[in-house]
Amino acid sequence: MYRHTLAATALFALIASAPALAQDVTDYLGVPGPMTVGDTDYVLAWSSQPSEGYFKQEYLPVGATPETYDSMVIVEFVATDLPLADVVAMQTNMITERKASSDPIANFAVFSNDSGEILLDFVLSSKDADGEYIIEWNGYRYAEAEFDGQSGAMLFAMSERAYGNEDSEAFLRGLTDFKTGKTMDLTSAEMPELR
């Protein structure tokens, strides 16, 4: 089981990026999907190589759209010689800065397990064009990995959203039980094998 650790977050995007309109999807990481997390099947919906040695892939339930997703699975790899705890610390620093500057709801907790993985559990908020809240819960599971002959950090993550003030309020009220279940789904799933 995961236990609190002083280490914190990452080179990975703060909020799962919502890609621009439809495009060809490339399986950069050898993880074509579909993959099952909990009781939901996710298919590869978007991918990118933002820079040399950094790959991002997003998976959605069939029929979901990235711009208004409710549930998403993310697999990323970044080539780095940084310790995993330092990768995670970059992400928690971004969340802390966000909370101080623009997002009073932003919050996180960090856990680790005996196999060296680190789990970051965090919540973010923003507002849409109409001033309605969007609440996002993320479970980021980090592990050391190798890909394409390079050592680095791998992210296996879940992102869940609620849209509009009413749904966002209900989402936050039920967040403790909700994230407990989703965290169990994420941590009990097989870590994707990069090929």
Q: Give the pLDDT confidence of 53-102 residue by residue, as tens digits.
A: 999 999 999 989 888 899 999 999 999 999 999 999 999 999 999 999 99
Is 21 within the bounds of a domain?
A: no
Is 124 within the bounds of a domain?
A: yes
Name the average pLDDT for the chain: 88
User: Given this model, what pLDDT does residue 23 score?
Assistant: 58
Is 144 within the bounds of a domain?
A: yes
Report residue 66: phi and psi, to 5°.
Answer: -60, -35
Is 121 within the bounds of a domain?
A: yes
User: Given this model, what pLDDT does residue 65 score?
Assistant: 86
CATH code: domain of residue 113: 3.40.1000
**133-to-6, 55, 142, 162 alpha-carbon distances in Å:** 31, 30, 28, 8
Is 70 within the bounds of a domain?
A: yes
The number of domains in the chain is 1
- Band the pLDDT of 8: cuts 50, 70, 90: very low
Give the separation between CA 73 and CA 43, rounded to whole angstroms.
9
- Band the pLDDT of 20: cuts 50, 70, 90: very low
> Which residues span the domain enclosing 80?
3-15+26-188
Burial 11-45 (b: 16+ CB within 10 A, else e): bbbbebeebeeeeebeebbebebebebbebebbbb
The yes-or-no verdict on residue 122 having pLDDT over 70 is yes
